[in-house]
A and B are shown apart, each in its own frame.
Chain A
């Protein structure tokens, strides 16, 4: 039996001898990755190309009429539509407010929670729980807490003599409120990433530094922080991308209001496409967002490379 197999094996090899080993390996590799590749092409590259094409048309979802308009949608968004720049500004404010706050909080939670002490798992779970909580439930609860005079937060503030604002009804406060509630919701994820990175740092480094008389701050500044660099980069990139893509949170909490104060890019795209049914224009905006996020990511990567 074994002999037969060997014989057939040899025959097969002889038959395929026109293929070099390298080519055969390449072919096998392609076969192995083809299912994933097919999925990637169909569900990612395909829609991306479709969106790029739609962005060159004026296409009304309801009437199903599409006309090719070239770069008109882009021109309108970038040069004629004042709302667009207002929306980009809001998205930038959201990201600038959210990313540093999220990262700082994630790291300050991860530092103590990366250790081993009784009950540490409970603390980690508590801070991670909002990540897996339904976004809708989260927004509804916060909307209640952030009500005007009757809101829980304002009642607490009133106890210490502070007259709290009507959080979600005043543009600047509303932006602050959506940033902070979003940070509390998502910080657990970054915290876990930091905990994993902290636990991967060999204990010997810290022990050695201590022997040399380094203070806690010095250990953090010169050992822990540089070693967290790659994780910090990953966290920064995904949090920035996530903050530009934020939609559900804004949709539930403010609907882009008040006075368009929290109208961010992703929500604006939704509005154009799914409320006004102007799919062409929404696609152009989506392409612009894609480019913005891509540039930001590349910029962060370059910055990081220069740093190291």
Chain B
């Protein structure tokens, strides 16, 4: 009898232990940051999600940004889909048209106090199709100029913010100060985002000056690289690289963050590198051109994968991380697309590395900016552009002919 009782108790206990993990759920969420501050914040979101779903844990999986889209695709194709994750803007149209993203509208519309209308309409362009919502932008981060104040002071130059205040911060001035900075300090005047721009981040290099000149890389399925505005803008950039020698040329290393270049273009998430830089710095708007103020925005969204097994739960988690409170908390790293947060005082003061008046530059750029171009055939377009862009970045290149060649190569894909 005793033995039987023992057996029953053991079985009950074992079943009890087994039912624990069975009831609990784990969401797998892919991201491309490994930054401790970012992870701490994300884990905080997972923790607060427990208020409604006490037995749900979220496992974040970091995939390096360079391999992100590719590895994510392998996971989806290999039958090992994450439940949810971040998605870069250039991959959004490809993924949405492939039907691998879940429509979040039903969950977002039902979520308590979510207020979907709070998201700025232009910021949702890449992520919605009619009533369907394939993702929610969590970072709508404009490109700004980071400058080395010490080098500007040494060269006796007014810094970009002072020039912008006088309405003089335009592409002509930008070229002029970049050259002076190079000539006086021996450091590079300017470098493209993260010292790239020629082999990778091609769009990040060409897009801002082209838009400032009033052009576009493509619009309405028409290539814009060979239009007069784009040609003029790229010619100026080419002169800066090869005639003025003020921009870090292809095949060389600059590194703004260690003082190698006086200016660079980047997003505010990079401000976290600045405390270690050891020089005075600031952020300023992009220089204007014939097209007036034309801020360029880089975007990333949160999505749920259709192949996942816990779509409803994953969608609820997306609604949680993009609610007003959490968007406000994330704003210090990832500028928001929620109007209420963007217009709040809290956002302007959210980043303790960037003074409020410079955060206004960011808020203003989000309000007026347009996102980088994206296309469902982005990978093919970039691959078709690459050899022609290589030809463009040679000292003796015929800029106009190279830009025409880019259009010939990508027009069929557009």
A positions within 8 Å CB-CB of B: 60-64, 144, 146-151, 166-170, 255-260, 271, 274-277
Residues of A within 8 A of B76 (CB): 62
Q: Is there contact, CB below 8 Å, between B253 and A147? A: yes
Stretch at the interface among B152-160, B340-348, B363-371, B378-386: B378-386
Q: Is there contact, CB below 8 Å, between B252 and A149? A: yes
B61-115 with Cβ < 8 A to chain A? 70, 73-74, 76-77, 94-95, 98-100
For the complex of A and B, 10 pairs with smallest distance between CB atoms? A258-B390, A148-B251, A62-B98, A260-B387, A63-B98, A259-B390, A259-B387, A169-B251, A61-B77, A166-B251
Q: Is there contact, CB below 8 Å, between A275 and B383? A: yes
B249, CB-defined interface residue at 8 Å = yes
Residues of A within 8 A of B232 (CB): none
29 contacts between A and B (CB under 8 A): A60-B98, A61-B74, A62-B76, A62-B94, A62-B100, A63-B98, A64-B77, A144-B253, A147-B253, A150-B252, A151-B251, A166-B249, A166-B251, A167-B251, A168-B251, A169-B250, A169-B251, A169-B390, A169-B393, A255-B386, A256-B386, A257-B386, A257-B390, A259-B388, A259-B390, A260-B390, A271-B383, A276-B380, A277-B73
- Chain A interface helix/strand/loop/mixed: loop
B positions within 8 Å CB-CB of A: 70, 73-74, 76-77, 94-95, 98-100, 199, 249-253, 379-380, 383, 386-388, 390-391, 393-394
Measured CB to CB, the nearest residue on chain A to B380 is A276
Q: Measured between alpha carbons, how far is A62 from B77 in the docked complex, in Å?
A: 6
B213 to chain A, nearest CB (A): 26
A61's partner among B73, B251, B253 (CB-CB below 8 A) is B73
Q: Measured between alpha carbons, how far is A147 from B379 in the docked complex, in Å?
A: 27
Q: Is there contact, CB below 8 Å, between A170 and B394? A: yes
Having A257-B387, A260-B386, A271-B383, one finds 6 other A-B pairs with CB under 8 Å, namely A61-B77, A62-B77, A63-B98, A147-B252, A147-B253, A169-B251
Residues of A within 8 A of B383 (CB): 271, 275-276
Q: Is there contact, CB below 8 Å, between B199 and A255? A: yes
A269 to chain B, nearest CB (A): 13
B264 to chain A, nearest CB (A): 18
Measured CB to CB, the nearest residue on chain A to B67 is A274
Q: Measured between alpha carbons, how far is A36 from B261 in the docked complex, in Å?
A: 58
Measured CB to CB, the nearest residue on chain A to B99 is A63
Q: Measured between alpha carbons, how far is A259 from B387 in the docked complex, in Å?
A: 4
Q: Is there contact, CB below 8 Å, between A275 and B251? A: no
A270 to chain B, nearest CB (A): 10
Measured CB to CB, the nearest residue on chain B to A168 is B251
Q: Is there contact, CB below 8 Å, between B390 and A62? A: no
Residues of A within 8 A of B199 (CB): 255, 257
A266 to chain B, nearest CB (A): 16
B363 to chain A, nearest CB (A): 36
Residues of B within 8 A of A259 (CB): 387-388, 390-391
Q: Measured between alpha carbons, how far is A169 from B392 in the docked complex, in Å?
A: 11
Q: Is there contact, CB below 8 Å, between A148 and B250? A: yes
Q: Is there contact, CB below 8 Å, between B387 and A258? A: yes
Residues of B within 8 A of A144 (CB): 253
Residues of B within 8 A of A148 (CB): 249-252
Most buried by A among B387, B391, B393: B387
Q: Measured between alpha carbons, how far is A62 from B74 in the docked complex, in Å?
A: 8
Residues of B within 8 A of A62 (CB): 73, 76-77, 94-95, 98, 100
A263 to chain B, nearest CB (A): 8
B375 to chain A, nearest CB (A): 13
Q: Measured between alpha carbons, how far is A259 from B391 in the docked complex, in Å?
A: 6
A147's partner among B70, B251, B388 (CB-CB below 8 A) is B251
Q: Measured between alpha carbons, how far is A144 from B390 in the docked complex, in Å?
A: 19
Q: Measured between alpha carbons, how far is A148 from B393 in the docked complex, in Å?
A: 13
B50 to chain A, nearest CB (A): 33
A173 to chain B, nearest CB (A): 11
Q: Is there contact, CB below 8 Å, between B70 and A274? A: yes
A17 to chain B, nearest CB (A): 51
Residues of A within 8 A of B99 (CB): 63
Q: Measured between alpha carbons, how far is A303 from B74 in the docked complex, in Å?
A: 43
Residues of B within 8 A of A271 (CB): 383
